[in-house]
């Protein structure tokens, strides 16, 4: 399954799509990038006169790249004859535990790296890290979700 097909199967659209590119993807993990657009609506009020990307948005970006893209790949691997589409994907976030270290400002690009901890009974749990352009660790933690197609 091509990287573009996986991105097109994501159940998100702009302005809530936080995946620009998948760099690496296999049964053990996923690496991808996203650039936070300077005119994104959440910067207008977070924080006044000093815009910073909210932690919940960073977590969402990590989940979309690190868990959902990987989950679509894994679900497709289970049923190679079925091409998974947006309409097929059912997802639900089940838990997150994220530690934040460095802020991300408008216009910055991030790289997300995930490693599968387990995928069974439609639950996917991943260790996920986010890095900025200087390769500094922005945040890391675990994200779990239920996936079905």
Two structure tokens written together for 18: 């936080």
**pLDDT tens for each residue of 100-132:** 999 999 999 999 999 999 999 999 999 999 999
Rounded to two decimals, the pTM is 0.93
Q: How many domains does the chain have?
A: 1
Helices (H), the chain: 3-9, 55-63, 70-78
Full pLDDT tens readout for the chain, 149 residues:
689 989 998 999 999 999 999 999 999 999 999 999 999 999 998 888 899 999 999 999 999 999 999 999 998 875 555 566 656 778 889 999 999 999 999 999 999 999 999 999 999 999 999 999 999 999 999 999 998 77
Cα atoms in the Cβ-side hemisphere of radius 13 Å centred on 131:
10
Host domain of residue 51: 3-148
pLDDT at 64: 97
C-alpha closest to that of 53 among 81, 34, 70: 34
CATH code where residue 31 lies: 3.10.129.10
Which is the catalytic residue, given 1, 11, 46, 123? 46
> DSSP 3-state assignment of 130?
strand
Count of Cβ atoms closer than 10 Å to residue 103 Cβ: 15
C-alpha closest to that of 93 among 27, 131, 141, 130: 141
- Active-site residue, 46 included: yes
How many angstroms separate the CA atoms of 89 and 8, rounded?
A: 11
Q: Are 26 and 110 in contact (CB under 8 A)?
A: no
Q: Are 19 and 99 in contact (CB under 8 A)?
A: no
């Amino acid at each position: 399954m091509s990287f573009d097909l996986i991105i097109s199967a994501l159940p998100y659209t702009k302005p809530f799509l936080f995946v620009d590119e998948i760099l690496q993807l296999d049964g053990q993990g996923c690496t991808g990038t996203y650039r936070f657009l300077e005119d994104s609506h959440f910067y207008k009020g977070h924080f006044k006169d000093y815009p910073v990307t909210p932690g919940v948005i960073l977590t969402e970006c990590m989940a979309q790249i690190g868990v959902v893209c990987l989950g679509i790949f894994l679900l497709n691997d289970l049923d190679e004859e079925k091409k998974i589409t947006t309409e097929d994907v059912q997802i639900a976030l089940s838990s997150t535990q994220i530690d934040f270290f460095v802020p991300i400002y408008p216009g910055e690009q991030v790289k997300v790296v995930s490693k599968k901890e387990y995928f069974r009974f439609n639950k996917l749990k991943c260790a996920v890290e986010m890095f900025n352009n200087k390769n500094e660790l922005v945040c890391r933690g675990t994200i779990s979700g239920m996936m079905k197609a």
